[in-house]
Chain A
């Protein structure tokens, strides 16, 4: 095969505009893929590096109860240290300010991996001999300095130093409560240690040979209490962190693949337009003796070269995005990340991007190869058989599925995501096609409107495709926005006035009456028990499989409330009353009942902190998340669980200005009680919601850009036709004003059609999500919805007019000359 550089170059120049649009579509796909790939590689590396530090040892044992003797004995065979963490309220005597914080007691030797650098440069344990070591935020919030006094529990400490960082506590969303370090002696002195206190206890083990970690962990699991003591190794990050990161990237992968798919449609459309414009050239070349291979070789070469250019530009932009996104990513993820575009990530995205580009380019190239010499003389249809069209269509779906599978590395997930995206795409395509077809058939009375809609009948108009892509992007984007609004209105903005804004934890049962009097505000107090389901109808629950999924499957510990009244946020779904006439009764929340597969009448065997209990399921409830009210998986009649261990927590609605003073007073009267101001949590949730929508928008704007490119490409490729039509209209007496009205009308109809279809799809999908997934009411969004409809409508109209306006001004004569 001879390569003809002149032909290659001239054909590239002749199609420069359309090829530039194609390159931009590749750029968008490359940007999406490279950013996600770069983020993932960076996070994987960071987690691998941080895991050992994050774990705090080669093997770490966790428990919220005191460790069993057997486990302690087993751990003592190895080099080990202990740490214990708990939430507490610190009080500054100098100004009576309080701070909800996390206290951590550490033994000498901590940390095994990484370090805790102090402001003074001293060693941590040296400083702990003199008092507490605190995080900078403690000093800022309490307006204190090193050397001043801080009261925790019953003891007043001196702040001896400031910790600059902590190796096993990532920043970002996990760092809500500031850190205070103490020794175990200091912890004892606080007087906060009680049998029922909620403590996070750890034993950190350091091995001579880290590779033996799994072996040692298994030994410890054999002797530990299965449901109570969890053993992890440095080889895996903490389960919750791993799951969160996994879900985060699954979501991102989905967004990236959507952006790539939409960009791919842009690629296909722009290439089709370009190759159609080369029909005469190809036909002439064929009449001169070039064969199909010649045509495919040269045009594929042009496509590859352009795709490579687009990819490299995308890679560059991704590199910049990654560097700029470090802080953002660290806020979204529980690990400190410095995102960079690694060589591995670059090659990965190069492979994916070019593979996808070729998949989308295959159909236009195939069609170019089918152009026959007779096309020189007349328009010859190169319509492929249905079978061929099906094959190429399937190639696209398979390519996207393969891309998704490569990224999420889970066949099931890849299948379901592909299916979901395909369903959304099909609905959007069907709606777009039907509406456009209906409009094309209409013969409105208005000449301007009729002329405008008439131009959609031209085959190269691509109206259905433009409407489909833009409306699908708008649908996904608007769904995210509407759901964010729903969550915000439900959880944050529209919280009823009586919703609690203060939570008080670790109240002792015997303190309840006095506590209520001392608070002087109305309290809702809840006695909370931690319960686990052991058997259902005599059959033990299967506790095989990953422990981290126990909570998800209903096999983990649950919160239970002894009460005779149905909680305010609950409604009965089955059973006329909570317990009926049954004494040994339990009411189960609907999601737990579904996960465990239990129904009314089933007999449960429960473990209540080691105390067995039998009860019959007498009702099933639904529990709403409104207003930050506590939700309990199980409810018992109080007499059934009398004497069983429990903790008490309370919620209250306090005037904003009184919260601080109340917290101070309680810290003095009840040093063991932890008080949490919910406004910070609410602020954090709101921030995360906005960030998630921002993330969705980032990728979807790529798709919207692709849709706009298709619009521009279709309008550009039709300019000859449009100019000719304008000339004919002028010949028949139409003036410039008429032609402008036609163009504006056509593009306004297109714009509002797109935003209408997109918004309709978004309303439908967000209504489904709000009802079935998020369990929140559909938000009030009257004015916003109007803007969501109007703005894209005008945007598309303006763009369409901008690309077409020169056509209106062209003189008719050049288009009417013969020959």
Chain B
């Protein structure tokens, strides 16, 4: 079966005024198979979050190619990228990034409603129930704890049965207990849905749970 994600010679340079350019990624190659859990790790500033942003299409590489589910991301239009993000990709961020003016249920249901699914709300409820938030569905993000917010984000990432999940330090803002619980949930849901997971973390405990580890240093993959 074809890989879910392929990145070839991806470069990313940030240009700044009155300062030297920052070469965040310098020729990164990466392949992720379907159903695989890949952890990307490395010291601070090595480019792992930038890699995630470029791989997911949230930002464009300076050069190189990225394909997701057989579709080339680097040459896609905004419309095509939007469709890809809605139907194929799920995101989990360190700072949760939930919409403040929507309830937990609305946050989770939103991608499904965008995709035109008639059972969006029902699916959202099921997912929230699965992660133990059935009594918090009508709460707004500011009313939830960090762990609860991240669980909402997990559900949101999976509501459209994404084939590829990108998680950027998902436990970074959580205490140990919550972090473990969230990671367990993430991996469990990933396995249940058969999705691939690309997770960025600097925590060895987190990285140790992955099927494969990619180490980065100074913008390149070293192992």
- Residues of A whose CB lies within 8 Å of any CB of B are 447, 450-451, 454-458, 721, 724-725, 727-738, 811-813, 816-818
Contact = CB atoms under 8 A, between A and B. Distances in A.
A811 B113 contact: no
Given A728-B98, A818-B95, A818-B172, A736 B58 contact: no
Given A816-B53, A817-B49, A811 B101 contact: no
Contact of A818 (B59, B100, B102, B169): B169
Interface of B: 49, 53, 58-59, 78-79, 82-87, 91, 93-95, 97-102, 106, 110-111, 113-115, 140, 156, 160, 168-169, 172
Given A732-B85, A811-B59, A816-B58, A738 B114 contact: yes
Given A447-B114, A735-B79, A818-B49, A728 B85 contact: no
A818 B83 contact: no
Contact of A811 (B58, B100, B114): B58
Nearest to B169: A818
A451 B101 CA distance: 9
A268 B53 CA distance: 41
Contact of A732 (B59, B78, B93, B110): B110
A734 B113 CA distance: 10
B126 to A, nearest CB: 18
B91 A731 contact: yes
Contacts of B79: 735-737
Contacts of B86: 732-734
In the complex, the 10 A-B pairs of residues with the closest C-beta atoms, listed nearest first:
A733-B86, A735-B82, A813-B59, A732-B111, A457-B101, A733-B85, A813-B58, A454-B101, A447-B113, A818-B94
Nearest to B172: A818
6 contacts: A730-B85, A733-B82, A733-B83, A734-B114, A735-B79, A816-B97
Contacts of B106: 450, 454
Nearest to A815: B97
A418 B68 CA distance: 67
A817 B53 CA distance: 9
B3 to A, nearest CB: 22
Contact of B78 (A454, A736, A816): A736
A455 B58 CA distance: 23
A456 to B, nearest CB: 8
Given A721-B100, A732-B114, A818-B169, 17 more contacts: A451-B110, A454-B106, A456-B101, A728-B99, A729-B110, A730-B82, A732-B110, A733-B82, A733-B111, A734-B114, A735-B79, A736-B82, A737-B79, A816-B53, A816-B93, A816-B97, A818-B95
A441 B172 CA distance: 34
Nearest to B83: A733
B199 to A, nearest CB: 14
A811 B172 CA distance: 24
A732 B138 CA distance: 20
Contacts, number: 80
A728 B97 contact: yes
A811 B102 CA distance: 22
Contact of A733 (B49, B94, B99, B114): B114
B168 A734 contact: no
Contacts of B111: 732-733
Residue in B79, B83, B101 with the greatest tally of chain A CB atoms within 10 Å: B101
B58 A725 contact: no
A379 to B, nearest CB: 8
B151 to A, nearest CB: 17
B95 A733 contact: no
A721 B99 CA distance: 9
Given A818-B49, A818-B94, A734 B99 contact: no
Contacts of A730: 82, 85
B101 A455 contact: yes
Nearest to A456: B101
A450 B115 CA distance: 15
B58 A731 contact: yes
B71 to A, nearest CB: 14
Given A454-B101, A454-B106, A457-B101, A812 B58 contact: yes
A340 B57 CA distance: 64
A447 to B, nearest CB: 5
A127 B110 CA distance: 92
Contacts of B101: 454-458, 725
B78 A733 contact: no
B89 to A, nearest CB: 8
A727 B83 CA distance: 14
Contacts of A817: 49, 53
Q: Which of A456, A732, A818 has the most CB of B within 10 A?
A: A732
Nearest to A812: B58
B85 to A, nearest CB: 4
Contacts of A731: 58, 85, 91, 97
Contacts of B49: 817-818
A452 to B, nearest CB: 11
Nearest to A736: B78
A728 B172 CA distance: 19
B129 to A, nearest CB: 20
Given A812-B58, A818-B169, A725 B114 contact: no
Contacts of B114: 447, 732-734, 738
B7 to A, nearest CB: 16
A225 to B, nearest CB: 78
B161 to A, nearest CB: 13
A540 B110 CA distance: 82
A816 B58 CA distance: 9
A738 B140 CA distance: 23
Interface-central residue, A450, A458, A721, A733, by most chain B CB under 10 Å: A733
B115 A733 contact: yes
Contact of B156 (A457, A732, A737): A732
B96 to A, nearest CB: 10
Nearest to B113: A447
A136 B114 CA distance: 77
A813 B94 contact: no
Contacts of B84: 733
B100 A734 contact: no
A358 to B, nearest CB: 34
Nearest to A734: B114
Nearest to A814: B59
B125 to A, nearest CB: 15
B86 to A, nearest CB: 2
Contacts of B58: 731, 811-813, 816
Contacts of B115: 733
Nearest to A457: B101
B213 to A, nearest CB: 21
Contacts of B172: 818
